[in-house]
Chain A
Amino acid sequence: GAVVSQHPSWVICKSGTSVKIECRSLDFQATTMFWYRQFPKQSLMLMATSNEGSKATYEQGVEKDKFLINHASLTLSTLTVTSAHPEDSSFYICSAPGGRAAFFGPGTRLTVL
């Protein structure tokens, strides 16, 4: 199946700082990518849809000014958590469609101190 990578795999930052997470489709192009967030013992929740060459679309309740998404190329989408706070600590996962299925990255564990 198609491969999606994320970087970094984990990050620890201080409250108030910004953190950038990269999502890459390694062997295919993706005009659309998706960002999810997962809290402990909960299911994945879709945050936003990243669109190459245009603005991202955000799910209800997700602050677009806090979670900045840039889909710079057909293989790269970035999620920047701005002014991170401890409640933003979570597991962030991206996905990209490859054929008839969606393929997911390995996730990024963000811990905000």
Chain B
Amino acid sequence: DAKTTQPTSMDCAEGRAANLPCNHSTISGNEYVYWYRQIHSQGPQYIIHGLKNNETNEMASLIITEDRKSSTLILPHATLRDTAVYYCIVRVTNSGGYQKVTFGTGTKLQVIP
């Protein structure tokens, strides 16, 4: 799996958009970008993933640069409950599901009232 680089920590004001960057300059053409988050003392939660197009779901938006070497996870209106460690992961995925996920250190997002 390609290596990712994320800032160690970020702060965001409640109600504002949280933009979490991720660099993955060695990503291969068949590797997807995945985002997970882990709220304190809970299991990781899947957020979103994408290959090359921007993606949006009920939780967040994922913006992938045209060269696919970096991406940004956007939480449009951050709430206190979004305080968590956010992990950016790139890997090959096959439908049908072998999904061994290797975690880096992630970005600790602190949403401030």
A interface residue numbers (CB < 8 A to B): 1, 4, 6, 30, 32, 34, 36, 43-46, 49, 91, 93, 95, 97-107, 109
Contact = CB atoms under 8 A, between A and B. Distances in A.
A30 B98 CA distance: 10
B45 A104 contact: yes
Nearest to B94: A100
Interface in B92-113: 93, 95, 97-106
Nearest to B38: A44
Select the residue from B32, B34, B42 with max chain A CB neighbours within 10 A.
B42
Contacts of B41: 91, 107, 109
A105 B45 CA distance: 9
Contact of A102 (B95, B101, B106): B101
B21 interface: no
B95 A100 contact: yes
A49 B98 CA distance: 10
Contacts of B49: 100-101
B42 to A, nearest CB: 6
